Every structure is written in structure tokens, then in C-alpha cells.
Structure 1
Amino acid sequence: MPTFANTWNTSGLNTWLLKKALSLPAPVLRGLSGGGVVYSQGRTLDPQIQFLWRSLFTPPSGRTGLSLTNRSLESARQAWQDAASLFGLPDNLRVRYEQIGADAAGPTFGGVAPISGLLIRPARISEDAPLLVFFHQGGGVLGGHGLSKAFCALLAQEARCPIFLPDYRLAPASRFPAALDDARIAFEWAQSNAFRLGAKSGRVAVGGALMGANLALRLSLDLRRDFKPMPAGQLLITPLVDLSDTQIKTGASLGMWPLTTGDLDTMISHYAGAGTNLDDPRISPALEPLINGQPKTFVVSAGLDPLAAQGEVLVKRLSAARTQNSLSKIRHPAAGFRPVRRRGR
């Protein structure tokens, strides 16, 4: 009898049907994914994520459909985009999307291409709300702003603030520090165009998920070092801010990632390049000796999150440096993912 994974891999099961399946009650989803609650370190895996990982993305090889093993980067990137598209949005969402970067006269990423990305404007924007420049996840190798589009659309509406999702160059075609260079150019461009991008206050905050959070933190540290205008605040979602941390691979071996340890080795190798010291604070900003003068920081860790310790250590260091900060622990989702919001709610 074919499994959901086989159906997905061989016939491209309709996305609409997948979204409908994800709206089923939690016990049904757990039953379809093999039954039982995935529980570790006092936290449980969200049943919708469990359904995707165990039923849709687990072929007989044991690798998930999001693995980089034995496939091209183009194929892997498309798989991640397809997975991101499964996470539906509520019917009452009221935001407008605008593609940024059509003006060839605008600033460029290292002289290669115009500033590009996606601007999300909610129907209601608070007078004092900043523009949030949010860097997407993907390990510096996968995806584009589409990986964070659904999350940021929800955030824009809830926070009543515009959000700019800039694109940045990806490895291995453009290794570190290309993504960081692009992130800074995008942020400084956004600062110069905050009003045009919808921020009535003229203020600009920075944020990111996973590797995007790495870029956001490193950017804030660099701006402080260079005596440049600082972000109004920073939002770090399941931050991957220490690439030398061995717990990253431990999480993969325990099934806490949709990636294998080999996948993580490949991604880090692609991003860092040969000879790069992962203990270097430039690529692992949590290891920066001095983190004084940082903007107000909000750190979010997830349920089965192998990066939770990184976020907690960072918050302690920020507190010691007298930076106003907050740590929020979401019990159920896995690192880098969010549960699907029920339609119409």
C-alpha cells in the first residue's frame, strides 16, 4: 500500500489536499504519521510538523524529502519552497505584497544585482511601528524570501508593522561573507527608505530565523562597531549564531531537524567555505567577545529545538551587557517551523 511519502514523491500530491489534511485533529495526524507523541526534554513536537516529517517527507531511505543528499541544490531549494507553501494562512489575513528591486538605478548587492526582496504591508500600520528587515532561513544555502513569507505575513498583521524580506546571495556560488555583505546593504537601504517602505515612525528594526538570525545579530554588532545608526530592535527566531556548536548535529541525529548530520555538514561547508574557522565571531556572532550596546532583543526558541541552548546563552550574555531582552519559548513547533493556523481563525 503506498504511503503518503510515496504519493508525494511520485505524483506530486495536490497542495490543496495537503493543506486540508493538515487541518485534521491532532490525534488523527499523529495516527497518520505512525502514532504516538514525539517528546523530548520536556517538549513535544507539533502534530502537524510530525505529520509532515514522518508521513510526507520520510522515504524508505530514512532521509526526509528535505534532505540535500543525492540531489542538486536546485532540487533541494525547490523542495524547501514547496514545503514552506504548505503552511497555510488564515482567511482573515489582510496584507499586501510588493516586489522590491525593479528599479535598476537602485543600490546593488556587491555590484551584482539590484536590491531585491518582498515588502509586506499590513492593512493597518501603527504610527510608532518600525519597518522590520527580516532575513530568511535556509542555512545561507537554501531558499529565498519565500521560506519566511507566511510567518512574516502573520507577524506583519499581528504587529501592525511593514516587513521587508530582502534576498541575499546564497552559497556555494557566493560563500561567506557574501550574505552578510548583502544583509548590510539591504538594511542600510531600508533605513534610507523607511518612510517609502511604510514605516510612519521612520524607525527600522532587524530580525531573522536560523541563519537569518545569525545575519541579523552580526549586522547589529558590526553597526555598533562602526558607529552607524543602530536598529530599533532585533527579533531572533531560533537563532543559529554559533556554527561551531556540536549540539546542532546532535539534534539532527535525534530527528529534531528535517536534515541529516551529513546535510548539515554539507550546508556549513557550502556556506563557510574551505579554511574558515567556525569559531570566528564573524561567522558565529554569539562568540563575539563584547556585545555591549545592542538594541532591545527578542529571542524565540521552539519546541524540539537543538538551538534552544544557543538562544538561552545569548540572552544571558545580553543581560550581562545590560541589553534589554526577552526570551520566549514556544513549546510545540520544531526549530525554524511554525504550526499551521486554522483557516478562518
Structure 2
Amino acid sequence: MLHPQAQAFIDLLVQRGVPPTHTLTPADARKFYRERRAVTQPEPGEVAEVRELSAPGPHGAIPLRLYRPLGSTAGASVPVLVYYHGGGWTIGDLDTHDTLCRELANLSGCAVIAVDYRMGPEHRFPAAVDDVLAATYWVRKEADSLGVNANRLAVGGDSAGGNLAAVVAIAARDAGDLPIAFQLLIYPATDMRCVHPSHTSNGQGYVLTSDTIKYFHDHYITDPQHDLDWRASPLLHPDLSRLPPALVLTAGYDPLRDEGLDYARALTAAGNRAVYVCFERQIHGFITMGRLLDEANAAVALCAGELRRALAA
């Protein structure tokens, strides 16, 4: 049964006549997603430091934002999570996930470095992959100046960001020169073919609809053959062994639920350590809605606890 708080949020969207994302231009969808924070997200918490950064990338400079947790000593080396925001590779930015990054930093004791990667339709696949890889390599290279521990580096993200985190973990393994200690995959998109049963059972009525998924997909993917590329669909990679430990978190009323579950199963079957948790009563995107949804705050605490445990010295 859908959580009453999630149902109330859906009812509120209907009552206010909020247009579905797929009916908006990308510019308007980005603006609405940014403005929705005031309704759904808790107030941004205080952290020890916030620093705006820039990393060089193959398509130009990549904006980053570093958060140091409360209680951390200036200059002391702390573990780090490189975080890629959600938004269907089309919407979202450093501000839409500012509160979540602050929460993860404070609750885990890790620094968080958020990546503002390029998105479609202006920059299509694999531009986002190129940017997040370049940014993560840069964090490792500049670890000392950033005050983070390159040997205790995790990657993570939600939705499209979870997809990118999974891809970075695979690419880093294959390259052999970017050790990653943990991957935090929050309702990740792992199969661009959208063939799992939850795309049908949860495809309408729960905010992220089949129409919106197609909208995001078509703004990111140019060639249908890209759906089969593991950089778009990490579940389709032929070898998922020797990957970092993972937490895969999903929501019961999410079209992406089953591909997240299948990815966790595939990681385990390939010999990796993978923890799978499904918030059965929740919808896609819930983790950033802590002002409205109690289970969002529980999910953030769970993610932070797993980060702290995985990156402990």
C-alpha cells in the first residue's frame, strides 16, 4: 500500500494542477524541479564548509561543489563521496540536491563532492558519462588539496545519477587506475530498454510515469542502439564481477524498482557485496522529500550509515 504521505503529495500535485514533466520544455522542467525544493525538501543544514570547484573535462569545465561535514577539522583528510544528481540526464543541478548532499555529509562524516555534469538535449549520451568520469578522476588527483582521502572514495547518485555511479564503478574497474571503495545506488536506472515489469505496473499515477521516462530517455539517447551500450545500461555489461561493495535502494511504487533489484541481484551473483533495500510504500524521487515524507529521512540516514561503515578507516 502506498504510504499515506506519498499519496498526499500526489494528491497535492493534482489539486494544484502541476503539469507533468513530459509536457514541459527542458528549460521549464529544470526551473520547476529547482523551485519544488521549497515544498518538498527540508531546510539545508549547516556544514563545516561549502566550496565551489571546477574540474577540467573533455567537453569543458565541470562545476563541482564540496561539502565538509560538521565536526571535521579544517585540512584534515576525510573520506569522500562523489555524488551525481538525479533528473533523467535532463534536469537537476547542484542546487536541487544541495540539501541531500549536506545531510549525507553530516550523517556519514564524509566529504561530499557533487558534480554538475552536462545533460540532454543540449549534450547527449555519452557526455554525462564523460563528465562524471573526468570529475571523479580529478577528485582523486586533487585529493590532498581538497582535504579528502583518495583511498576512501565512494561514488553515488539517485536515479540517473545512480546510473552514472554504476557506470563509473565499472569503468574504474576496467581502467584499473581509480580505486573506488563503495557505490551508493539510489533507485538507479540500469536498463534503458525499460522492459522490466515495474515499468508497466508502476508506469502511471506515481509522479514518474512512462511518458516522463520516455521524455528523459529521448533527450539523452540519440541512437536506439545506445540502449544496449553498458555506459547507458550497466545491467547489460557482460562482466559485473570485481566491483565495489554497493547499497542499492529502491521504492516499491517506482517504475525503476525491478531493474534496481535485478542490478543488485546481478552484483551479488557476480561475487560482489551488495545490500538491497526497498522502501515498499514509496515513490521514485522520495529521498529528497524529507519535508513531506518521514521515510525519506530514514532512507538518508540508512545511506549515510552504510557510507560511514564502508569508508571507515
Q: TM-score range by the shorter chain?
A: 0.7 to 0.9
1:91–1:269 Cα change, 3 Å: closer
Matched, 1:178 2:127: yes
Deviation at 1:202, TM superposition (A): 4.8
Any unmatched runs of 5+ in structure 2? 298-313
Q: Does the Cα contact within 8 Å between 2:89 and 2:119 map onto a contact in 1?
A: yes
Partner of 1:67: 21
Matched, 1:56 2:13: yes
Matched, 1:292 2:292: no
Q: Does the Cα contact within 8 Å between 2:52 and 2:64 map onto a contact in 1?
A: yes
Aligned to 1:235, which of 164, 170, 184?
184
- Structure having the higher Rg: 1
Matched, 1:205 2:175: no
The letter for the 2-side match of 1:192 is K
Q: Does the Cα contact within 8 Å between 2:45 and 2:103 map onto a contact in 1?
A: no
| TM value normalised by structure 1 | 0.76
Q: Does the Cα contact within 8 Å between 2:140 and 2:150 map onto a contact in 1?
A: no
Deviation at 1:95, TM superposition (A): 4.6
Matched, 1:140 2:89: yes
Matched, 1:161 2:119: no
Aligned to 1:217, which of 160, 166, 182?
166
The letter for the 1-side match of 2:36 is A
Any unmatched runs of 5+ in structure 1? 1-38, 102-106
Matched, 1:118 2:65: yes
Deviation at 1:58, TM superposition (A): 5.2
After superposition, residues 267-278 of structure 1 pair within 5 angstroms as: 267-278=216-227
1:75–1:175 Cα change, 3 Å: same
Deviation at 1:306, TM superposition (A): 2.5
The letter for the 2-side match of 1:218 is V
The letter for the 1-side match of 2:153 is V
Matched, 1:45 2:10: no
The letter for the 2-side match of 1:86 is V
Q: Does the Cα contact within 8 Å between 1:87 and 1:150 map onto a contact in 2?
A: no
The letter for the 2-side match of 1:121 is R
| Distance (Å, rounded) in 2 between the aligned partners of 1:288 and 1:243 | 12
Post-superposition, which runs of at least 4 consecutive aligned residues in structure 1 deviate over 6 A?
A: none
| Distance (Å, rounded) in 2 between the aligned partners of 1:213 and 1:324 | 17
| Distance (Å, rounded) in 2 between the aligned partners of 1:261 and 1:54 | 19
Give the length in aligned residue pairs. Answer: 289
Deviation at 1:76, TM superposition (A): 0.8
Partner of 2:40: 87
The letter for the 1-side match of 2:21 is S
| Distance (Å, rounded) in 2 between the aligned partners of 1:241 and 1:58 | 33
Q: Does the Cα contact within 8 Å between 1:194 and 1:204 map onto a contact in 2?
A: no
Deviation at 1:129, TM superposition (A): 4.9
Deviation at 1:226, TM superposition (A): 1.9
1:124–1:331 Cα change, 3 Å: farther
The letter for the 2-side match of 1:270 is H
Q: Does the Cα contact within 8 Å between 2:162 and 2:188 map onto a contact in 1?
A: yes
Q: Does the Cα contact within 8 Å between 2:46 and 2:70 map onto a contact in 1?
A: no
Deviation at 1:93, TM superposition (A): 4.6
1:296–1:65 Cα change, 3 Å: same
Which structure's residues are more often strand, by fraction? 2
Partner of 2:31: 78
| Distance (Å, rounded) in 1 between the aligned partners of 2:248 and 2:138 | 25
| Distance (Å, rounded) in 2 between the aligned partners of 1:259 and 1:59 | 17
The farther-off stretch of 270-279 and 292-301 is: 270-279
| Distance (Å, rounded) in 2 between the aligned partners of 1:145 and 1:91 | 13
Q: How big is the alpha-carbon RMSD for the aligned residues of Structure 1 and Structure 2?
A: 2.5
SS of aligned partner of 2:40: coil
Deviation at 1:179, TM superposition (A): 0.3
Deviation at 1:238, TM superposition (A): 0.6
| Distance (Å, rounded) in 1 between the aligned partners of 2:147 and 2:124 | 32
The farther-off stretch of 243-252 and 230-239 is: 243-252
1:302–1:272 Cα change, 3 Å: same
Matched, 1:99 2:52: yes
The farther-off stretch of 229-238 and 173-182 is: 229-238
Partner of 2:141: 192
